[in-house]
């Protein structure tokens, strides 16, 4: 297949920080970038060559956007799969609409993974009060009740500990269907970011250790201190999932690691991921350049990690007392500040991140803890 070479135009559906970092890498490599989303002057639009404004449900507007580019990719999965299928008929769309359709719905995602014998938490579909009670009986309590679609960063989910709580939470969701999962007592979470090319070539980054605050990623430590056999298993699972999807592009899979060393897939993201941002400053090829290479049919780059690193997410809460003193942050010569061009710093909103590098993972972690103290982020 003929590669899409620099000088071509890449299209990205979505216009947040992931699209911004993708666009910056693509432009560095000599590509033009067009973005499509409902927002004007978006983080991606600020650095793209052209910004198309339209609804993610609008096939006509999205089709006009598709006609202006040589290939389309995603930075945001909550896009109508019907629109994605329509775009596939106009221009190469990578990853494919099927991958998007599966990943944007928790029930479809878990069903797909279970069917292909990948390790997932026990789950059940619920769409009535009676089905909720049947799930409680089959899976036991506590359970995690989640909306089936359009949820991320802990949105649309709750832990339920009694049958009454489960029914009340389901009624409060006011949705046609939801999913319940057995509550897993896990030791920690890891994720694997990987890329797959058009010819099936595959490259994975080292597994990383993630910690969350209020269901949102807080800190990523790279690499994770992980048994080599477990790291190999996580990478092989990630590769297997991408093969079953015939996936082209960058993808992330988040795993629970239980006390007995068992891996369970929590969820997958059909795009670059927050837990892969550290690759910009600590790897030969970062996850966004890898996305460009994959969708354009170019050879994948080296995923070698040059130095241990840690990444700190910056949410809008950091701005609660005004603009942070970035000079104190950058007093660490190894700290790299990435801000996303968002004007309104709302609590919980992802505004940027900081990556630090060090001689060991533990040293990088200590540097991040120091930065959290400087910025007033709860440890």
Give pLDDT, residue 315.
97
Residue 280 shares a structural domain with residue 137: no
Residue 252 shares a structural domain with residue 369: yes
Residue 335 shares a structural domain with residue 218: yes
Rg of the chain over Cα atoms, rounded to whole angstroms, equals: 20
Whether 114 is covered by a domain: the verdict is no
Residues above pLDDT 70, as percent of the chain: 98
> Are 165 and 136 a contacting pair, CB within 8 Å?
no
| Boundary-marking domain end, from 146, 162, 182 | 182
| pLDDT tens per residue across span 189-224 | 999 999 999 999 999 999 999 999 988 999 999 999
Give yes or no for residue 152 having a pLDDT over 70: no
Whether 109 is covered by a domain: the verdict is no
Residue 265 shares a structural domain with residue 364: yes
pLDDT-derived band at 166 (thresholds 50, 70, 90) equals very high
The total domain count for the chain is 3
| pLDDT tens per residue across span 273-330 | 999 999 999 999 999 999 999 999 999 999 999 999 999 999 999 999 999 999 999 9
Residue 135 shares a structural domain with residue 249: no
- Identify the CATH number of the domain in which residue 38 sits: 3.40.50.20
- Identify the CATH number of the domain in which residue 290 sits: 3.30.470.20
Give yes or no for residue 335 having a pLDDT over 60: yes
Whether 191 is covered by a domain: the verdict is yes
Q: What is the mean pLDDT of residues 103-111?
A: 94
Give pLDDT, residue 153.
53
DSSP string, 274-341: GGGTTHHHHBSS-HHHHHHHHHTTPPPPP--BSS-EEEEEEEGGGGTTSS--HHHHTTSTTEEEEE--
Q: Which domain holds residue 158?
A: 122-182
Whether 145 is covered by a domain: the verdict is yes
The mean pLDDT value of the chain amounts to: 95
pLDDT-derived band at 33 (thresholds 50, 70, 90) equals very high
């Amino acid at each position: 297949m003929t590669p899409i070479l620099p000088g071509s135009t890449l299209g990205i559906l979505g216009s947040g920080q992931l699209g911004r970092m993708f666009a910056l890498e693509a432009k560095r490599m000599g590509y033009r970038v067009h973005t499509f989303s409902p927002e004007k002057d978006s983080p991606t639009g600020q650095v793209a060559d052209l910004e198309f404004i339209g609804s993610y449900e609008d096939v006509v507007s999205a089709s006009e956007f598709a006609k202006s580019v040589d290939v389309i990719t995603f930075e945001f999965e909550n896009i109508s799969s019907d629109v994605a299928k329509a775009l596939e008929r106009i221009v190469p769309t990578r990853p494919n609409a099927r991958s998007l359709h599966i990943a944007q719905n928790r029930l479809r995602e878990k069903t797909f993974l279970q069917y292909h014998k990948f390790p997932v938490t026990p789950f059940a579909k619920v769409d009535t009060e009676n089905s909720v009670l049947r799930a409680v009986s089959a899976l036991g309590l506590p359970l995690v009740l989640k909306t089936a679609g359009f949820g991320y960063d802990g949105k649309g989910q709750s832990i339920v500990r009694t049958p009454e709580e489960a029914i009340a939470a389901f009624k409060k969701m006011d949705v046609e269907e939801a999913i319940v999962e057995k509550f897993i007592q896990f030791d920690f979470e890891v994720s694997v970011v990987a890329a797959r090319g058009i010819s099936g070539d595959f490259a994975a980054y080292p597994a990383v250790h993630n910690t969350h605050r209020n269901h949102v990623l807080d800190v990523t430590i790279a690499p994770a201190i992980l048994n080599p056999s477990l790291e190999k298993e996580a990478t092989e699972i990630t590769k297997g999932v991408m093969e079953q999807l015939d996936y082209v592009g960058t993808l992330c899979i988040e795993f629970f690691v239980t006390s007995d060393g068992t891996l369970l897939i929590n969820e997958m993201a059909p795009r670059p991921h927050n837990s892969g941002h550290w690759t910009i400053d600590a790897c030969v090829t970062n996850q966004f350049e890898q996305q460009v290479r994959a969708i354009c049919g170019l050879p994948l780059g080296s995923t070698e990690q040059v130095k241990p690193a840690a990444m700190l997410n910056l949410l809008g809460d950091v701005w609660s007392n005004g603009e942070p003193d970035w000079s104190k942050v950058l007093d660490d010569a190894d700290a790299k500040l990435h801000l996303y061009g968002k004007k309104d710093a709302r609590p919980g909103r992802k505004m940027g991140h900081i990556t630090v590098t060090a001689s060991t993972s533990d040293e990088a972690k200590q540097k991040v803890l120091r930065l959290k103290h400087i910025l007033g982020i709860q440890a």
